Amino acid sequence: MDKLVVPFFFYCILLSINNANGQAKNALGFGPAINFSKTGSYDPEDGLGARLQGEIKLGNRVSLVPSIGGETPYNAYFGVSGKYYPVDRFHMMLGGIAYIGGDVSAGVGPSIALGYQLLSSQRHFIDVDFHGEIIKVEPYENTTVLGLRLTYNFSFSRPK
């Protein structure tokens, strides 16, 4: 019974500060990422990375998300996506990335993500995103990169 007290207390705290709104915001975020891909045809590759992203509010449920990061299988990338909040806590992103280095040399590719807001307060929120990208690897074959990104964000605008 004592083992349930701490998780219950933690859950009560989350419920008291967790007032997620499905609204676009002006925010700045950073966090870790882990990716899984198949480079070329056979070699599975996974790795850690990091991401810095902004969010620029365009409408109540729509924003623009520029991002930079370093994640395996590419050394560095720059991305721009549109972010849409269909319902509270959930968002979808669609855009593209330009990447360099690593096993993939350089190129551009599409990017898509589905996300959920784990925790939020008036100015702080934590997102988890499941993302996918299509990139070209040597010798010029398409491969898919799938991964998870956990991002802490600071919002410059209060939700209405």
Spatial separation of the C-alpha atoms in residues 87 and 36, rounded to whole Å: 28
Residue 118: the pLDDT is 83
Per CATH, domain 2-155 is 3.30.360.10: no
Residue 55 pLDDT > 70: yes
Reported as type and span, the H/E element at residue 14 is helix 2-17
Residue 43 pLDDT > 50: no
- Summarize pLDDT for 74-85 with one digit per residue, the tens: 788 999 999 999
Give the whole-number percent of the chain exceeding pLDDT 90.
40
Kindly state the DSSP code that residue 157 receives in the 8-state scheme: S
Cβ atoms of residues 58 and 81 within 8 Å: no
Q: How far is CA 12 from the centre of its chain?
A: 26
Residue 51 pLDDT > 70: yes
Q: Is 2 helix (H, G, I), strand (E, B) or coil?
A: helix
Cβ atoms of residues 157 and 37 within 8 Å: no
Residue 40: the pLDDT is 47
Whole-prediction pTM value? 0.78
Q: Any idea where the domains of the chain sit in the sequence?
A: 2-155
Residue 9, Ramachandran bin (φ over 0: left; ψ between -120 and 50: alpha; else beta): alpha
Could you tell me which residue, 74 or 43, shows the higher pLDDT?
A: 74
Residue 67 pLDDT > 50: yes
Residue 148: the pLDDT is 92
Kindly state the DSSP code that residue 140 receives in the 8-state scheme: T
Q: What number of H helices and E strands is found in the chain?
A: 1, 8
- Summarize pLDDT for 80-102 with one digit per residue, the tens: 999 999 998 899 999 999 988 76
Residue 15: the pLDDT is 47
Q: Which of 100, 81, 84, 104 is nearest to 92 (CA)?
A: 84
Could you tell me which residue, 142 or 51, shows the higher pLDDT?
A: 51
